[in-house]
Chain A
Amino acid sequence: MAAKLFVRKRDGRIEVRLNEAGRAAVREIFGHVVAAERDPDHEWRTSLNAPITPSRDDDDPLATLARQSEIATNVELAVMTLNESQLNENEAWAWLATIQIALRSTALAHGFLDDDTLAAGDADVLNEIHLMQQLLFDLAACL
């Protein structure tokens, strides 16, 4: 992959500098979020359904529906623009939100709740996490 994975251009668009391997990795990340969003038994489901107001027994159904809708909209836009060479602001935001959801869901699914558990994590999982962090770091720098 190139040194900078995303670069803000003078016209305001964000250039995606991922090679084929990089795009395949992003495709896999987006695919996981799509699967988690559709499958109620997916291991990431807990992080997608985190409590909004923990002091109440149940969250407002409208609030949970709004969250589900927002996640679905973002991941749909991210998947649709997967092969684009340039992203506009909304598309880049959809990529960022979707990758960030994948990052946190991966961490939660493996019990990485603090720096110690993260440091003791499996090397393959940590590689996945580092890849997502690098993508997010470069994307956030453009937004």
Chain B
Amino acid sequence: MRTPSDVRVSSVEGDRGSESDLSTGSDVLTERPWNVIVWNDPVTPMTVVVVVFRKIFGYPNNKCTQLMLQVHHEGRAVVWSGQRPRAESYCVKLQAAGLQATVEQDT
């Protein structure tokens, strides 16, 4: 999966975003990706989480199961990373499907 941090862009003075959004290297400008986080809760059946991941992201079954187990055991999992508009769009879809999800920028 491509993320903004994979994309190298020539650094041009005046073409930079805010400090909070962008980090600069010597000759590259990279944007930290935005993560979609799914949080654990005590009531949602595991099979529902797998079905929702498959429907929304189109991931194969084993990846959905792996992510679901990560949510279950670690309390949260990053289920997608990339540009903010798409991250928020995925988060909205997860919330509309009844899962607890948020978006945060990668640290």
A residues in contact (CB < 8 Å) with B:
50-55, 60, 63, 66-67, 70-71, 74, 93, 96-97, 99-104, 106-107, 112-115, 117-118, 129, 133, 136-137, 140-141, 143
Tell me, yes or no, whether B26 is within 8 Å of chain A by CB: no
- Give A101 to B99 CA distance when docked, in angstroms: 8
Contact A52 B45 (CB under 8 A): no
Contact B41 A104 (CB under 8 A): yes
CB distance from A50 to the nearest CB of B (A): 6
B residues in contact (CB < 8 Å) with A:
41-45, 47-48, 50-52, 55, 88-89, 91-93, 95-100, 102-105
Contact B96 A140 (CB under 8 A): no
Instruction: Enumerate chain B residues within 8 angstroms of A60, measured Cβ to Cβ.
Output: 88
The SS class assigned to the A binding surface is helix
Contact A96 B51 (CB under 8 A): yes
- With beta carbons under 8 angstroms apart, the residue of B89, B99, B100 that contacts A63 is B89
